[in-house]
Amino acid sequence: MDLNKREYVKDVLNKKDNSKVIVAGWVEKVKLMGNLNFINLRDRTGVLQIVAKGFKELSKLTPESVISASGTIKKGQKKSGEKELILDNYEIINPAETPLPIDIFGDTTSIDKRINYRFLDARNPKINAIFKIRSNMFKSIVDFFSKEGFIKINTPKITAAGVESGSELFKIDYFNKKAYLSQSPQIYKQMMVAAGFERVYEIAPVFRAEKSHTTRHLTEFIGVDMEMGFIQDENSVMDVVENLIKYIIKDVKNNCSDELNLLKVNVEVPKSIPRLQIKEVKSMLKEKGKKLSDNDDLDSESEKIIGEIVKKKYKSDFVFVVNYPWDKRPFYHMKSDNDSKGTKSFDLIWNGVEIGTGAQREHRYKILKEQAKEKGIDLDKINGYVDIFKFGCPTHGGVGLGLDRMVQCLLILNNIREAILLPRDPERLTP
Ligand code: ATP
Ligand code: MG
């Protein structure tokens, strides 16, 4: 059968009666009724009923085998009048063994086992839909940044050392030298603002050697990082992030309505995202019985509670928490104008989960060095970084978002492992 002439099920279902077509896909079901047999054939666009008059050997066709089929389109017998294919001929491209190692269409298999057999698991249209939406989100992000004049950069993932603490670095053997997998493109994106690109972004793997077994941490995830020059303050960055979020949700709603319906997810484009001072957030948390000191960070429990509070009080799924304590932020975050204990930084929380951290960065060479000293950082070790700010660098700031977390939050998935095809965590290196 000429696979160059193969058409998608979705298109075939819209054809006129008596059209001759070739389709191909997976055998979802075979119904044997003697002289009149039926195959449900699935491809990535839908399921088509094939009516096979005769073809007794179909009893040997196993579920999930891959076949091609040719025949004539006819209006079906069902009330819906959905088109069927009257089979002329079929070929088995690859038979599937039985039994299948997982129940593709049930919900009884553990996520762990499903990921072991992701190539089967993702044949479930609901799982498939997650990754179609993820693919669209990726496209939306690229569209948005291009529209806003950002330049896409690619930065090294093998590095000498991170600017941030070393505890989360994966060490690798690099021709007898010490090297690490990149835990953030921070240094490079700031470098490229200074290089005159002004606005840059990268969507790329980020590696974190955190031995956490949570539903929102991976050891390898996709970071969506941007950095922009000539900002007024951190609000300039939040404005862009807010527009990015609106753009993604609008674009996904426009392009993925079938997939969202299948997953029973109803998302709304936020009107505006509230920006709350961390002090204000902490007093709201206190009212809920969660006490945090001025210098504390927000832990995941606090993020969850704050997610519930803003949902009620502001009718918003999102919140920017701003002005995090200097104690908890890296040395390159700019300090607040009138409060040396605060920073011009923010976190973005979606349905109670942090999806991004950003800030205005300190671009003044002398102050940056003082801040590094204050954090007890050995200046000799960060020369390569601070030199960026010695020869002309604009005010700038940026954000690091996690794509996998965004997919998780958009689709309200209870585990980040549902949002990535082949997750890496402390226990998993395969497939
Ligand atoms: P968390 O506090 O949730 O561990 P973080 O503050 O350490 O996150 P950042 O360094 O701010 O993370 O990274 C920026 C973004 O990257 C986060 O907001 C999140 O969306 C994503 N991210 C960070 N660590 C992970 C991880 N281990 N797995 C998946 N996504 C992550
Ligand atoms: Mg963070």
Regarding whether 169 and 84 lie in a shared domain, the answer is: no
**The tokens 């806003």 sit on which residue?**
148
Q: Which ligand is nearest to the CA of 348?
A: 1
Q: Is residue 15 part of a domain?
A: yes
| CA 140/CA 293 separation, integer angstroms | 39
Residues 278 and 406 occupy one common structural domain: yes
Shared domain for 142 and 73, answered yes or no, is no
Cα–Cα nearest to 284, from 315, 309, 303, 304 = 309
pTM: predicted TM-score of the whole model, two decimal places: 0.96
Distance, in Å, from the CA atom of 398 to the CA atom of 201, rounded to the nearest integer, reads 9
Indicate if 85 and 169 belong to the same structural domain: no
Contact 182, 222 (CB under 8 A): no
CA distance 130 to 133: 5
Q: Are residues 147 and 243 in the same domain?
A: yes
Pocket test for ligand 1, best of 357, 409, 410, 417 (most atoms within 8 A of CB): 357
Position 103 in a domain? no
CATH number at residue 60: 2.40.50.140
State yes or no: pLDDT of 147 exceeds 70: yes
Instruction: Output the domain CATH number for residue 405.
Output: 3.30.930.10
**pLDDT at residue 164 in the model:** 66
Beta carbons within 8 Å of 420's beta carbon, 6+ residues apart: 218, 221, 222, 404, 407
Counting from 1 in the atom list of ligand 1, the atom nearest the Cα of 218 is 28
- Asked if residue 105 belongs to a domain, the reply is no
Looking at residue 162, its pLDDT comes to: 64
pLDDT(165) > 70: no
Residue nearest (by alpha carbon) to ligand 1 atom 27: 217
Residue 356 CA to ligand 2 centre (angstroms): 6
Instruction: Characterize the bridge pairing of strands 353-361 and 345-350.
Output: antiparallel
Confidence of residue 423 (pLDDT cuts 50, 70, 90): very high
pLDDT tens per residue, range 35-76: 999 999 999 999 999 999 999 999 999 999 999 999 999 998
44 within a domain of the structure (yes/no):
yes
In a domain, 109, yes or no: no
Cα of 349 vs centre of ligand 2, distance in Å, is: 10
Q: Tell me the DSSP string of 296-325.
A: PPP-HHHHHHHHHHHHHHH--SEEEEE--B
- Ligand 1 contact via 210 beta carbon (within 6 Å): yes
Whether residue 259 is contained in a domain is answered as yes
Regarding whether 194 and 79 lie in a shared domain, the answer is: no
Average pLDDT score over residue span 193-217: 96
Domain C-terminal end among 42, 59, 94: 94
Would you say the CB of residue 73 lies under 6 angstroms from ligand 1? no
Residue 217 near ligand 1, beta carbon < 6 Å: yes
Residue 162 and residue 59 share a domain: no
Q: Nearest residue CA, atom 8 of ligand 1?
A: 354
Pick the closest to residue 321 from 334, 310, 336, 332 (CA basis).
310
Domain extent for 391: 119-418
Pick the last residue of a domain from 29, 61, 94.
94
Q: Which of 202, 208, 214, 245 to mutate to test the pocket of ligand 1 (most atoms within 8 A of CB)?
A: 208
Residue 185 has pLDDT above 80, yes or no: yes
Could you report the per-residue pLDDT of 218-275, keeping only the tens digit for each? 999 999 999 999 999 999 999 999 999 999 999 999 999 999 999 999 999 999 999 9
Q: Is 208 touching ligand 1 by the criterion CB < 6 Å?
A: yes
Same domain, 83 and 174: no
Ligand 2 centre from 55 Cα, in Å? 60
Are 169 and 51 found together in one domain? no
- Structural domain count of the chain: 2
CA angle at residue 225 from 223 to 228, to 5 degrees? 180
Counting every residue written for the chain, the total comes to 431
Is 201 in contact with 153 (CB distance < 8 Å)? yes
Cα(380) to centroid(ligand 1), Å: 28
User: Does residue 123 have its Cβ closer than 6 Å to ligand 1?
Assistant: no
Residue 46's contacts (CB-CB under 8 Å, 6 or more residues apart) are 8, 9, 10, 13
185 lines ligand 1 (CB under 6 A): no
Which ligand 1 atom minimizes the distance to the CA of 402? 20
Which residues have CB under 8 Å from 204's CB, separation 6+?
Answer: 154, 155, 157, 185, 222, 223, 225
Flag whether 81 is in a domain.
Answer: yes
Averaged pLDDT of the chain = 96
Any ligand 1 atom below 6 A from CB of 355: yes
Among residues 94, 128, 160, which one ends one of the domains? 94
Q: Ligand 1: does its nearest atom lie under 6 Å from the Cβ of 357? A: yes
The crossing angle, in degrees rounded to 10, of helices 403-410 and 125-147 is 120
349 Cβ below 6 A of ligand 1: no
Residue located nearest, by CA, to atom 10 of ligand 1:
357
Return d(Cα 251, Cα 29) in angstroms, integer: 35
Is 80 exceeded by the pLDDT of residue 163? no
Query: Which residue, 371, 363, 299, is CA-closest to 341?
Result: 371
Q: Is the same domain home to 342 and 206?
A: yes
Q: For the segment 273-286, what is each residue's pLDDT rounded down to a tens digit?
A: 999 999 999 999 99
Model confidence at 78, pLDDT cuts 50, 70, 90, reads confident
Task: Label residue 171 by pLDDT band (50, 70, 90).
Answer: very high
- Residues 127, 229: one domain? yes
Cα of 401 from ligand 1 centre, angstroms:
7
Q: Does a structural domain hold residue 64?
A: yes
Please spell the DSSP secondary structure of 224-239, one letter per residue: EEEEEES-SSHHHHHH
State whether 77 and 153 are in the same domain: no
